Amino acid sequence: MTPTIYVDIDETVSHFIRPFIAFARKHDTTLPDYKDWSDTRGGLSPGEFATLLHKYENAHGYQNQSCDKEARDSLWELFRSGHPISYITLRSPAFWRATMHWIVDKGLPMGEVITLGPGADKALVIDGDHDALVWIDDQVPKVLPKSCELVLVPRPWNAESTLRRMTWKAIVSEFSKGE
């Protein structure tokens, strides 16, 4: 069976952090530069991050994010090789429609879109009684999945992770073969 590809959107397929940092700085919030970003969301408390993210969402920040060309091209290669694509994101469910439009506008292959909301655990949705799954993300999950293969795209904040990190090119090379 050809694995379904579950892929995170923000900073895995899109460029999220640099635009978010620029937005935060325009709103008098100091955040570290991209290379110093961490999985602690730039050092903001959960409440501060949620407040700023809500402002970013309402200012159409998600819709204006650019798509990583290598990610888009790679997802198309995976899709053409028979992999169903599912997008899974911590974007608020209120932004499901905007996320669908973003996927279409950026020329990504169509697939299921799952918007969980900030703070959710993607593994609870992905890790289940499914057959073959590959999960591609930029963040180390709260809980490691048991029923799927997790691959991290290399980012500064996951450099110390012992989990498997692969470039988009390597992901395509390994997974476009199917099962």
Fold classification of 4-14+66-175 is Rossmann fold (3.40.50)
Half-sphere exposure of 129 (CA within 13 A, CB side): 0
pLDDT of residue 70: 97
Q: H or E stretch including 58?
A: helix 46-58
The overall longest dimension of the chain from CA atoms, in Å, is 50
pLDDT of residue 78: 95
Q: H or E stretch including 137?
A: strand 133-137
pLDDT of residue 131: 56
pLDDT of residue 120: 84
Q: Are 123 and 134 in contact, with CB atoms under 8 Å apart?
A: no
- Helix%, strand%, coil% for the chain, nearest 5: 40, 15, 45
pTM: 0.87
Domain coordinates of the chain in residue numbers? 4-14+66-175, 17-63
- What are the beta bridge partners of residue 165? 152
- For the chain of 179 residues, list the mean pLDDT of each consecutive stretch of 10: 86 91 87 76 80 87 91 96 92 88 95 89 73 83 80 92 94 79
